[in-house]
């Protein structure tokens, strides 16, 4: 059973009880990520995510890790374009400890300058790791091609020069500015009781945000730009990007079906044509990314440099065939089955339900049950798919390519 409640300070708490589960997943979700950064702050949201694990007034970084490790649980975090999440998975009996640790990190992190210097070095290594991984780097380059000059065109990790420049005052200032109570959702799923929910309200329901006003968020304009890089790599890596849809677009369920049948599965058109029939690539797929006010559809393929142009041509031909001929009812039916299985299997764990509920509350404020979602998928037909395909694929794509030196 899913319940939502709003604390007096504006923090929302979303809980879902899962009978017969012995664990609990708890997450702090903040509607602030990389796109909330000014140009000189690139990487700040991600850096704060790291720093909240580096010690508080009463716990060292090791204390934080040990507090969860000794329960056999997991504590982690991630930063995205529009949100930052700190979460734990523990046995139900250890949930009070987990809540206390999360609250301590969230409210009492020391931002010790010595720890900041060390963590900057860690993040710089993380940036270098992405740069050394071309099938990751090519996606970051595509973001820059699609959204030049916009925060969504910058890497979530930031740049070496910006990360190196962060001061303690700037870091704390960003958190006070962007971590406002009305932007925060506490989500928990699993073996819950009222005592635990009350504990969450006590810890998170009374704090106030900083006086600074959050940075205005501008809607990104899609640009069919192009980026080409040379690296010491064996393969050529290709990404093509198209404008997508925001999370509340009426056609979003149709886009999910379109993506599934076009490049989102092993039976999809792109996989079958490029890998199975032509042997052009080991890895080829498509995916869509949806945000509060925009979205994108991305196609990726990794191939040999000698067959890069052939791969681009085949992808272009598949896009043209989609626009010209549409899709069959059989393809749509298979994609609906894929989405049903993916959705249901993905909700087997408390962590996945905690995440789903938090994102729904944070970005739409709407919680559709499984039957409602499946009804949306079943309503998708060939006419809608064709209309969506024309909307997404009619214009020229953005493109990023990484090729060997």
User: Among all residues, which ones are annotated catalytic?
Assistant: 49
Residue 317 CA to residue 15 CA, distance in Å, equals 47
Which candidate, 77, 104, 100, 88, places its Cα nearest to that of 24? 88
Measured CA distances, 240 to 15, 145, 208, 322, 398 (Å): 39, 10, 43, 16, 6
Rg of the chain over all Cα atoms, to the nearest angstrom: 22
Helices 252-262 and 382-393 meet at what angle, rounded to 10?
80
Distances (CA, A) of 35 to 76, 100, 177, 293: 21, 29, 14, 12
DSSP state of 268: S
Neighbouring C-beta atoms of residue 303, cutoff 10 Å: 25
Q: Where are the extended beta strands (E) located within 304-391? A: none
Can you read off the two tokens belonging to residue 239?
A: 């990404």
From the list 364, 346, 366, 365, the residue with the least C-alpha distance to 355 is 346
Reading the block at residue 297, the tokens are: 């559809």
Question: In whole angstroms, what is the distance from residue 30 CA to residue 33 CA?
Answer: 8
């Amino acid at each position: 059973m899913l319940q939502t409640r709003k604390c007096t300070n504006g923090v929302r708490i979303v809980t879902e009880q899962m009978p017969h589960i012995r664990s609990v997943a708890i997450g702090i979700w903040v509607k602030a990520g990389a796109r909330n950064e000014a140009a000189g702050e690139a990487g700040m949201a991600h850096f704060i995510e790291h720093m909240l694990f580096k010690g508080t007034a009463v716990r060292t970084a090791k204390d934080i890790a040990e507090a969860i490790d000794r329960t056999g649980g997991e504590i982690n975090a991630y930063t995205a374009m529009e949100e930052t999440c700190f979460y734990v998975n523990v046995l139900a009996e250890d949930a009070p400890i987990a809540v206390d640790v999360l609250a301590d990190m969230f409210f009492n992190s020391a931002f010790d300058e010595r720890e900041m210097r060390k963590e900057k070095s860690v993040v710089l290594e993380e940036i270098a790791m992405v740069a050394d991984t071309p099938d990751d780097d090519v996606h970051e380059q595509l973001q820059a091609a699609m959204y030049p000059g916009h925060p969504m065109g910058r890497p979530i990790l930031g740049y070496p020069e910006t990360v190196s420049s962060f001061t303690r005052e700037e870091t704390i200032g960003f958190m006070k500015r962007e971590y406002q109570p009305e932007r925060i959702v506490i989500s928990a799923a699993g073996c819950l009781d009222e005592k635990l929910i009350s504990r969450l309200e006590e810890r998170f329901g009374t704090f106030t945000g900083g006086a600074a006003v959050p940075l205005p968020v501008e809607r990104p304009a899609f640009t069919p730009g192009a980026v080409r890089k040379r690296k010491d790599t064996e393969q050529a890596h290709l990404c093509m990007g198209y404008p997508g849809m925001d999370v509340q677009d009426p056609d979003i369920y149709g886009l999910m079906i379109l993506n599934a049948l076009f490049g989102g599965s092993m039976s999809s058109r792109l996989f079958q044509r490029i890998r199975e029939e032509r042997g052009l690539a080991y890895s080829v797929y498509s995916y869509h990314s949806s945000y509060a006010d925009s979205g994108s559809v991305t196609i990726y393929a990794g191939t040999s440099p000698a067959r890069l142009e052939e791969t681009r041509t085949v992808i272009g031909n598949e896009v043209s065939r989609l626009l010209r001929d549409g899709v069959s009812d059989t393809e749509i039916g298979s994609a609906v089955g894929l989405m049903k299985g993916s959705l249901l299997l993905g909700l087997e764990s408390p962590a996945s339900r905690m995440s789903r509920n938090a994102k729904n509350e944070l970005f739409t404020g709407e919680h559709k049950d499984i039957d409602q979602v499946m009804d949306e998928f079943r309503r998708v037909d060939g006419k809608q798919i064709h209309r969506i395909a024309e909307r997404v694929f009619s214009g020229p794509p953005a493109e990023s390519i990484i090729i060997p030196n």
